[in-house]
């Protein structure tokens, strides 16, 4: 790589960063500087802390403990690295090739610069000190043979980053076709989310617990029955009880022995496990496995990087194309059969919504259509769907079947609140996903109140569609009384309208431009981020009053003063009516606010990323 | 004489930089007004202010008799105005038909009218075969054509077109020119910016020239030309150096 080019690119990267900061304003720069200093401090703390753990705590630990510690570090690193990867599935080059490949720069130089730029991330800033500190701590504290651990850890990071870089490049080659791109983004995100949820699901279902506990429970129950039936004496009971306990301990020990064996096999079979194997072997005075693993990582990393380079080369040289169908020949304009005016159906966007103005209906339907098609929104919707699967699974397993009657309606409240919460990123940045399309609203003669109404209505099917199955499940497995069940839809509407009023404010005061196909803001700024945090913390407080009717009924029931009147239902309907009235007033005011702020919003959401 | 566009001291500053310096535009109804200027002269900034996409720093502006500084009147004016903005303004995830339906409904055009107009506009602009594609799959020229269709669909009284011929093929360019000529002939107004002086010369009845944010000329095309071509007059007004370009000796000497 040409040293002059390298220096120029480093300068360019720095200049772009400084300019971006300058555009964000002084407050943004100060807050980012504080956060940056915090991350640097944290890195130092992690470096010293992990060194001390390696130097003081681990020297006396058995090889198995070392194996598990390194496995833990490696697994957390991989999960964290993959989380970053998920946010930016299609590799976005730090330096877009088309911006400088007409200059006298080799593709290999550009590729390497982009790869090195991809290493600058929060995960790396936090994990590099841990890997270095732990390796050095063990070297000085346990055995000099463990000096092999530092290059081993570095070569592992090289392999992991090169492999993911290759993966991103491969995805980019697939995503040259824009339609296929959408499917790939959603499928890969779904796979990642499911992988991240595996530990969570295992923890919830605890498959091992049932087997061990059930056998011991069964044996103990049988023993107790025999004692009660006077088939055995008390001495025999004690003796047998002792034997059951001893067998159980033996089974547990065998389980852990098997687990240890499987852990070794898994560590040998899966390359990320080689880091732990290297540490464990070096701790026993054998550096050879670590050295072999290091060369293995280096070879895998180099091969991945080479493949990634080949992919970049092919993309750059146009060997990947959008593909798709061969265009069908179009008849000359004069020969074309005249279209029958007004006969084609436009689908959803052409629908009329009862009691809703034409503008609001158009915005709601076009907005909904756009939302369900946008890959970034599909990615956002995955979180509530996963929540649905997890909590639905819990309900199906009957994990909360012991819930008292007055607590059961809280499950529906929780389901609605959770769905609203997980969609906060979308609802609180309603214009950010419009990007340049927001100009349509600025140019339109529609009253701004109708624009907000349409935007809120576009969200409604998503929120209601996701929360309703969970509410139905809750009602099937944890049924409430009829009056409380009837109250749920009214409570739902109340919660949604309160949510919309807050989300509208956030959308107007903290718009963030979102790049197409990504969930990440294009130019993240601190003030909108802080306002979003405020929204997240305010939301539960704002939703709290919707529980008042239930609370009042519970209190009156405790005093035995309900006289058979469905207090909760009546108060919920009343509250819903009040909130609908309030929403009508607030949205009119918010419409004027939108009109006064629309140019500022446009400036932000239509901004192009550098 | 009724004015479609009227501004008084319209200015826009970006920090210390003056993009538009107190211009007084007067565009009569029923005219085809070409707004010319070199790159960075302030054409797009002016059009953005007139359409409500950018707030002026100072000055007044009236579009179709409505004061654009007043929020309520601005909405009334927007109901009669069609725009092709500089970066267009399409939604990535809608098809052409969906997008046009959306725009039509925003202007309260009856659904049947929207449908029939779309059925006429898409084939006219050569977008019929691509109407099932999402706009993110469109080329720049196709996006421009779709933006034009969206601008004319509500049948507005005034059209603001920022570089409507840029990136458009010759066939469609002809279609657009004919369409706009008919539109003006019925008494409506077009305000367009373009770098293609030949097109401006063919189409426009009136011309304004803006240089470094200042309106240096505003007249009918005939009054402006006074026997010479529009290009020559434009270069004269734009302050192009009459002297030959100073020779770049290092360029003549070959590679260094």
- Listed by number, the residues of chain B in 167-226 with a beta carbon closer than 8 Å to a beta carbon of chain A are none
d(CA A178, CA A176): 6
pLDDT bin (cut points 50, 70, 90) of residue A348 is: confident
Q: What is the pLDDT of residue A362?
A: 92
In percent, the amount of chain B with pLDDT more than 70 equals: 95
Taking CA–CA distances from B124, the nearest residue in chain A reads: A333
Chain B contact for A582, CB < 8 A? no
Contact criterion met (CB below 8 Å) for B213 and B41? yes
pLDDT at B233 over 90: no
Residues A205 and A222 in one domain: no
Of B212 and A312, more confident:
B212
**Which pLDDT belongs to residue A334?**
45
- Average pLDDT along chain A: 81
Check if A588 contacts B (Cβ < 8 Å). no
**Mean pLDDT across the stretch B148-154?**
93
Residue A519: what pLDDT?
A: 65
Q: Where are the domains of chain B?
A: 3-241
Which two tokens mark A380? 């956002």
Do residue B106 and residue A346 have CB atoms under 8 angstroms apart? Answer: no
Does the residue A93 lie in any domain?
Answer: yes
A395 pLDDT higher than 70: no
Q: Does domain B3-241 have CATH number 3.40.50.2000?
A: no
Query: Using CB atoms and an 8 Å cut-off, which of residues 417-456 of chain A contact chain B?
Result: 434-440, 442-447
Residues of B in contact with A595 (CB under 8 A): 71
- A597: in domain: yes
Residue A234 lies in a domain: yes
Which one is predicted more confidently, A195 or A586? Answer: A586
Cβ atoms of residues B57 and B10 within 8 Å: no
Note whether residue A77 is domain-resident: yes
Determine contact, residues A589/A608, Cβ cutoff 8 Å: no
Q: Residue A232 falls within a domain, yes or no?
A: yes
Distance, CA of A166 to CA of A172 (rounded, Å): 10
Instruction: Give B239 to chain A, closest Cα distance, Å.
Output: 32
The minimal CB distance from B78 to the residues A341, A435, A443 is found for A443
d(CA B62, CA A14): 45
A470-479, A562-571, B76-85: the lowest-pLDDT one:
A470-479
Residue of A152 and A528 predicted with greater confidence: A152
**pLDDT of the residue at A206:** 64
Q: Are residues A37 and A181 in the same domain?
A: yes
* Mean pLDDT of the A262-291 span: 89
Give me the pLDDT at residue A516, please.
Answer: 67
User: Given this model, what pLDDT does residue A325 score?
Assistant: 44
Tokens representing A423 are: 């969609």
Lowest mean pLDDT among A40-49, A68-77, A174-183, B209-218: A174-183
Q: Which residue of B71, B79, B93, B175 is the best one to mutate when testing the A interface, meaning the one whose CB has the most A CBs within 10 A?
A: B93
Residue A286 and residue A382 in one domain: no
Instruction: Say if residues B77 and B63 touch (Cβ distance below 8 Å).
Output: yes
Domain co-membership, A463 together with A587: yes
Q: Which of A130-144, A170-184, A549-563, B123-137 has the lowest mean pLDDT?
A: A170-184
On whether residue A335 sits in a domain, the answer given is: no
More confident residue, B197 or A172: B197
Binary contact (A436, B55; C-beta < 8 A) = no
- Percent of chain B residues topping a pLDDT of 90: 45
Q: Which domain holds residue A258?
A: 216-267
**Would you call B91 and A447 a contact, using CB atoms and an 8 Å cutoff?**
no
Lowest mean pLDDT among A209-213, A487-491, A534-538: A209-213
Q: Give A350's contacts in chain B (Cβ within 8 Å).
A: 101, 111, 114-115
List A residues 322-351 in contact with B (Cβ-Cβ < 8 A). 328, 330, 333, 336, 339-344, 346-347, 349-350
Residue of chain B with shortest Cα separation from A451: B106
What's the pLDDT at A525? 76
Q: Are both A205 and A242 inside the same structural domain? A: no
Lowest mean pLDDT among A124-128, A343-347, B75-79: A343-347
Residues A191 and A259 in one domain: no
Task: Transcribe A451-465 into DSSP letters.
Answer: HHHHHHHHHHHHHHH
Say what the pLDDT of residue A394 is: 66
Residues of chain A above pLDDT 90, percent: 30
What's the pLDDT score for residue A396? 61
pLDDT of residue A338: 46
Given a cut of 80, is residue B72 above it in pLDDT?
Answer: yes
Using the beta-carbon criterion (under 8 Å), do A436 and B90 form an inter-chain contact?
Answer: yes
Task: Determine the pLDDT at residue A2.
Answer: 67
Report the C-alpha gap between A566 and A482 in whole angstroms.
10
Neighbours of A491 (CB within 10 A): 25
Instruction: Please say if the pLDDT value at position A341 is more than 80.
Output: no
The pLDDT score that the predictor gives to residue A169 is 81
Instruction: List all residues of chain A from 590 to 609 with a beta carbon under 8 Å from chain B.
Output: 592, 595-596, 599, 602, 606
Q: Are B160 and B83 in contact (CB under 8 A)?
A: yes
User: In the predicted model, is pLDDT for residue A264 greater than 80?
Assistant: yes
CA distance A589 to chain B (A): 13
Average pLDDT over residues A427-437: 87
User: Does A474 have pLDDT greater than 60?
Assistant: yes
Between residues 97 and 116 of chain B, which touch chain A (CB distance below 8 Å)? 97-99, 101-103, 105-108, 111-112, 114-116
Residues 6+ apart with CB under 8 A from B125: B145, B146, B148, B149, B172, B175, B176
Q: Which residues of chain B from 44 to 103 reach within 8 Å of chain A, CB to CB?
A: 51-55, 71, 75-81, 83, 85, 87-94, 97-99, 101-103
CA distance A353 to chain B (A): 12
User: Computed over its alpha carbons, how large is the radius of gyration of chain A?
Assistant: 30
Helical residues (DSSP H) of chain B, grouped into ranges: 43-51, 71-78, 96-106, 111-124, 140-152, 170-185, 197-203, 221-225, 230-237, 249-252
Residues A288 and A435 in one domain: no
Position A601 in a domain: yes
pLDDT higher than 80, residue B28? yes
Q: Are residues A378 and A492 in the same domain?
A: yes
Mean pLDDT of B54-82: 91
Domain count, chain A: 3
Residues A298 and A238 in one domain: no
Lowest mean pLDDT segment, chosen from A202-216, A305-319, A590-604? A202-216
Report the pLDDT averaged over residues B31-48: 92
Q: Note the ipTM here.
A: 0.71
Please name the residue of chain B whose CA is at the shortest distance from the CA of residue A349. Answer: B98
Of B234, B184, B250, whose CA–CA distance to B43 is shortest?
A: B234
User: A552 with A405, same domain?
Assistant: yes
> Is residue A12 domain-resident?
no
Cross-chain Cβ contact B97/A435 below 8 Å: no
Highest mean pLDDT among A249-253, A319-323, B160-164: B160-164
């Amino acid at each position: 790589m040409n040293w002059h080019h390298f220096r120029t690119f480093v300068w360019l990267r720095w200049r772009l960063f400084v300019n971006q900061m300058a555009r964000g304003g002084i407050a943004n720069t100060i807050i980012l500087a504080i956060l940056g200093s915090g991350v640097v401090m944290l890195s130092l703390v992690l470096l010293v802390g992990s060194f001390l753990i390696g130097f003081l705590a681990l020297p006396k630990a058995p090889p198995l403990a070392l194996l598990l510690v390194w496995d833990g570090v490696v697994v957390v690193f991989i999960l964290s690295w993959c989380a970053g990867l998920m946010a930016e599935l299609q590799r976005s080059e730090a330096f877009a090739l088309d911006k400088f490949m007409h200059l006298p720069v080799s593709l290999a130089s550009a590729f390497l610069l982009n790869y090195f730029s991809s290493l600058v991330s929060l995960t790396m800033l936090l994990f590099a000190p841990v890997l270095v500190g732990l390796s050095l701590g063990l070297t000085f504290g346990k055995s000099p043979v463990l000096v092999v651990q530092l290059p081993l850890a570095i070569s592992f990071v090289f392999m992991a980053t090169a492999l993911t870089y290759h993966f991103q490049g491969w995805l980019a080659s697939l995503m040259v076709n824009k339609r296929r791109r959408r499917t790939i983004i959603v499928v890969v995100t779904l796979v990642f989310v499911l992988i991240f949820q595996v530990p969570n699901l295992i923890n919830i279902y605890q498959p091992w617990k049932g087997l061990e506990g059930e056998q011991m429970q069964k044996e103990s129950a049988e023993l107790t029955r025999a004692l009660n039936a006077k088939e055995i004496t008390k001495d025999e009971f004690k003796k047998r009880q002792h034997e059951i306990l001893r067998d159980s301990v033996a089974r547990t020990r065998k389980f852990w022995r098997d687990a240890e064996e499987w852990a070794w096999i898994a560590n040998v079979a899966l390359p990320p496990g080689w880091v732990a194997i290297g540490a464990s072997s070096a701790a026993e005075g054998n550096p050879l496995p670590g050295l072999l693993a290091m060369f293995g990582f280096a070879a895998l990393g180099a091969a991945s990087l080479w493949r990634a380079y080949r992919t970049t080369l092919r993309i750059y040289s146009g060997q990947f194309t959008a593909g798709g169908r061969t265009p069908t020949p179009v008849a000359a304009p004069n020969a074309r059969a005249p279209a029958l005016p007004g006969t084609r159906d436009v689908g959803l966007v052409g629908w009329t919504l009862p009691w809703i103005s034409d503008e609001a209906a158009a915005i709601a339907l076009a907005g909904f259509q756009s939302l369900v098609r946008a890959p970034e929104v599909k990615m956002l919707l995955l979180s509530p769907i996963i929540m649905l699967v997890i909590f639905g699974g819990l309900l199906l397993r009957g994990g909360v079947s012991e819930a008292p009657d007055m607590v059961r309606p809280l499950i529906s409240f929780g389901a609605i609140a959770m769905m609203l919460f997980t969609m906060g990123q979308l609802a609180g940045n309603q214009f950010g996903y419009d990007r340049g399309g927001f100009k349509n609203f600025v140019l339109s003669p529609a009253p701004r109140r109708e624009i907000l109404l349409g935007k809120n209505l576009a969200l409604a099917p998503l929120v209601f569609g996701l929360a309703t199955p969970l509410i139905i499940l809750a009602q099937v497995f944890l049924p409430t009384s009829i009056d409380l069940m009837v109250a749920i839809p009214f409570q739902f509407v109340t919660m949604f309208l309160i949510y919309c009023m807050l989300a509208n404010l956030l959308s107007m005061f903290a718009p963030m431009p979102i790049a197409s196909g990504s969930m990440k803001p294009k130019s993240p700024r601190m003030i909108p981020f802080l306002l979003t945090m405020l929204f997240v913390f305010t939301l539960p407080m704002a939703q709290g009053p919707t529980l008042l009717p239930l609370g009042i009924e519970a209190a009156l029931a405790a005093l035995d003063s309900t006289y058979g009147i469905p207090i909760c239902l009546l108060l919920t309907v009343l509250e819903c009516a009040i909130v609908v009235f309030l929403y009508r007033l607030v949205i009119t005011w918010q419409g004027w606010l939108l009109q006064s702020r629309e140019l500022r919003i446009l400036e932000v959401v239509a901004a192009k990323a550098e | 004489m009724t004015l479609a566009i009227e501004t008084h001291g319209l200015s826009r500053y970006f920090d210390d930089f003056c993009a538009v310096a107190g211009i007084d535009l007067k565009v009569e109804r029923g005219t085809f007004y070409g707004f010319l200027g070199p790159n960075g002269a302030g054409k797009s900034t002016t059009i953005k202010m007139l359409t409500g996409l950018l707030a002026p720093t100072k000055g007044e502006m009236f579009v179709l008799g409505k004061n654009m500084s007043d929020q309520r009147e601005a909405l009334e004016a927007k109901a009669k105005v069609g725009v092709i903005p500089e970066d267009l303004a399409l939604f990535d995830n809608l098809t052409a038909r969906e997008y046009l339906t959306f725009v039509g409904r925003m202007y309260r055009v009856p659904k049947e009218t929207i449908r029939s107009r779309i059925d006429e506009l898409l084939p006219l602009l050569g977008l019929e075969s691509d109407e099932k594609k999402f706009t993110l799959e469109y080329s720049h020229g196709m996006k421009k054509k779709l933006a034009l269709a969206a601008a004319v669909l509500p049948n507005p009284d005034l059209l603001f077109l920022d570089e409507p011929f840029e990136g458009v093929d010759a066939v469609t360019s002809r279609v657009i020119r004919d369409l706009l000529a008919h539109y003006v002939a019925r008494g409506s107004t077009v305000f367009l910016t373009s770098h293609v002086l030949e097109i401006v010369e063919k189409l426009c009845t009136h011309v304004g020239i803006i240089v470094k944010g200042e309106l240096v000329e505003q007249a009918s095309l005939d009054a402006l030309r006074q026997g010479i071509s529009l290009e020559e007059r434009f270069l004269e007004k734009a302050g192009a150096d009459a002297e030959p370009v100073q020779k770049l000796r290092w360029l003549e000497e070959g590679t260094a």
